[in-house]
Structure 1
């Protein structure tokens, strides 16, 4: 139907120009880099916050566990003293050594809460469950005097350090009065080694420290996660800023700003209850997170490099695919500019992966992307223009043939006129030949009439073809306008898609906030479960069932936190995909703008074709006008021949009249020559326009 360009014509020297694919790839790389920077910055900040939160919770937990252990020991010891002061062996009858010792052995043997049991009487006698290395008058001891001064409550002595055992201890005592009005004091020696055992498994961050001090400022136990201990057991820190601020604090627990500890700006303290004999505090140095954050930064850098490499490779892939897609359109439009009407053919793209992607995007098909539909519309337009071109070519050939016939007829007519002139010159001598020449002239005029009729028919055909061409071109312009309108509608849909993606991103942020709340609830449940476990442990056998329930609650809290972390990961992945989809939509918008420009260019080209068609119709009208002039000339020549036939009978008298008629025929032939010349020029112009389309 139409010609194809050869290899020589299609291999024109490529011009250096900036490819749209480079801008698309550069935009993808910049967008990816910004996303990576934002993602890892937020990850670093969030991780740092979580690590700080971990350290804060570990400080609070360690201090709470220590004070809880102290509180349990104190409560158990006080309960033992209160129960012991009511034993019948102490309250019934008079005090005797055997009775007191038997009661102590029966009621207080085999208990780990205390290491020894004392009973002192008003007479100065002291009885002990475990033998003493020296004789002591109980009335001189602080625990005896304290219990006697307040017989309704138990009395605690301040913690003291036993060098022989290397442990701190306190004595809790209570007054006893028997039925004989004798008074005595029951006392239990409570060791704090169980508290130090509770400190052992506790960790405060990576380099943190947990310490237990007496109310007087003596270090009773300490645990440091660093290799270098900051406090030593038995050390007096009553003059330090830490002790002073803990002592001056109004609350039973909280965080304090302190000085005097290298690399530490704040501590967490817990004073326990009103009867607590020791305080606990914990702190973490400021460089505690440096190692973990350093590893995070290194990992983030490695991942960033890998992601950048992947993005660059993806950008190169997209650049090549865009070049192939747009190259197909550019080649087709350049061919049209050179007069070669070629369809868009994706088979020339190649077999590479980028070429296959470009084929899918540009292949002329319906019900696919805008590029597919535009390719299909372009091919349909090329088919219509090709059919129109072939029709114009055919009409041009016919017009040229008819012009040639008119030229031959004109030459024949001129020859006939010469013969008529010769006849007029020799009219006297060749009168007998006049009738024959007249008949011959009449035959020539009939031939001329037949040719004129054929020319009229050809002009009508040319007029119909021109009208159809104008109609088809008008339909083509309407189709291109509709394509442009649909393209604009597609661009609006793309804008709405971008807005919906932004709304999706906002919803993801709201989900992240809700997950934060769930994490906080899980943390609180975990702490409550821990406290419940401690309470169940202090309750002994009766609390074992409750301890199992508390342990299950902790497991549920841990599973809830793990599930929440998985949800966070999934949401982060959705967010990344949403960002990538948003980037691809933005790229589609840029490509859409370029296609809009191409459609506008195609509409302008169609308008140019429409103008040429109008010029063709105008030329056809001029041909019809020339044909009408030819008919008039034919009529005049017929009339002249009739006159010649009539005057043949009066040859001698009508010589001058024949001469005048010959001159009139000569003038008519001149007009015929002019008309034929115009027809020939029109045919040449029509052929010239038709040759533009190959």
Structure 2
């Protein structure tokens, strides 16, 4: 953070040292204009265009960084919480294993029978257990009876009752196996006891117990650190705080806290998860929890609301620094680009202004286009001081490079355009007088041609009217015969199409008959196959019933084996230590018998399921057989219908042949009549067309001459205007000489 602050201060100092006045355009070179400039809009737009992607990237980076940091904190919560839970589980498993192993030790039988020195040996073993594991504080053997003493690694108070000091004792003596107690306090130390009753015959002769030292677990919780502000907290099922780095909340009831209520109300079967709570840490960072069901404990890993404030502050400051630097760089680049654009625009506006006033001699140069006072040009001018002599010697030449950048290409293209335009104006000035004189001569010739053409057109119009009247009747008759011919042709086409469709229909109907016969044959074969399948299913059903009898026999054998194993266990218990090995064998036999009985039940269930399915399959086959009879009748009906369709199509084809023969006779007679009428109409049309064409040509020539006369008059006026306009432009004398040479 100190380095970031130092860099920020250096950046502000460097920005304050910049001489911004050098970036402003010179007043001497500025152009006075009465319009708005695009310089500042372009500068602002380019700055925004460069800033928007950067700001979007920075925002995305901030969001992703925050997300990664959150995931990292939550992963650390999960890891450390899981480590604590694993430690507690391991300690609990070790305590249970210790109790089970000690319960199988023969020293307990010696203590119960009053063997001298047995209590001392048991006390030594209990001391070894409590000192060999840092998570086990004390171990107890509490006999049920008045003639034996308690063997314990902890000194119990004789003034208080035993049940008050060991609140788990009564329930432990009444249980049938391993049991964990509620957390309790003994001699100022928090602990949880795992206990197991010891049986002598059918009665309880004592209780064996080991205390899980919760003070050691508290130390582990205090040493476990999560990120900067996180911690581990252990709660009972009732919400009592058992362990926390904040000792002030140990013993408090947090059951009503919202995050504790959340895990109580969850319907998930999982003992782990992450919850989010506004009350605990603002809801931004998750709270990882993991339950220990056998101990009735819940372990939370959580961090404070301000966990990532320091990192977020550093990221924000870094982003602000990058944004400010980018704004400055973007503004300088945008200002430079806008300056070049406005410089080019001003130079071209200046040249266009001269063209508007008639001066075509001005040309663009690279120096004029980029006449913008910016740091780049300033440094470039400083570096080029040694080349002043070379520049001055070439001052009369153009500074444009044909292979230069786009600015060079713009200036070259503009200068070439102006050269072409200037040459064109010079030619116009030289030829405008000749055009005016030629227009006057053409006007006189067009007037004479128009009068002669008008007389010819009137004569031809009379001949065309007489010829047109002669051909009207012939054309009408020929038209009617053509209509009759077209109608007969349509009838012939329609009959031909019907014949083609009839042939296709007969072919398709024949294919349909063959396909239906194949379907009938295949259907009969399918019915035979279904009958065979039905018979095979009935045979399988009989075999399954035989298997069911065998399974019943296996079930009876398993029941008898179970009774034998139970009797063997009873005899082994009576034999005491000598029959312990035989008791294990009897227990395994009883388990195998129970597994055999369960497997027999499963086989019976599978057999019943198979029988039900086979019965359903037979019923379904019978229903299918009934439906097949109806299907056979439908196939026979389809065959009869197809044969009827074939007979009708044959009659239709015979009728169509008669229609075609009659139509052919009519067509032969029609063609003779139409041929004669067409010869008459052709002769009349040729006469009419010839006269109309001559008349139209005469009218067209007359109209053309009128337009020609009008255009010649307009051309004479345009020549005068063009001459006056061309004389307004100022051009080089070289272009005038070239125009004279062209003349």
- TM bucket normalised to smaller: 0.3 to 0.5
Q: TM-score, normalised by structure 2?
A: 0.44
